[in-house]
Amino acid sequence: MKKRLKLMNEYWIVKDNKSGRIIAHCGDINDAIMMVSFDPHNRSYSRHRFIMDQVIDITSTTDKQLPGQIGLPMGKVDQLNPHREKLPENYQEPVII
pTM of the model: 0.48
Q: What's the mean pLDDT in 68-97?
A: 68
pLDDT tens for residues 19-70?
999 999 999 999 999 999 999 999 999 999 887 777 777 887 776 666 666 6
3-state DSSP assignment of residue 16: strand
Q: What's the mean pLDDT in 72-76?
A: 72
| Least-confidence region, from 4-8, 71-75, 88-92 | 4-8
Distances (CA, A) of 86 to 53, 75, 94: 61, 25, 11
3-state DSSP assignment of residue 39: coil
pLDDT of residue 15: 96
Give the helix ranges, DSSP H, for 9-91.
29-37
Q: Do 45 and 26 contact (CB within 8 A), yes or no?
A: yes
Q: What's the mean pLDDT in 77-90?
A: 66
pLDDT tens for residues 17-28?
999 999 999 999
Q: What is the dihedral of CA 34, 36, 39, 43, to 10 degrees?
A: 170
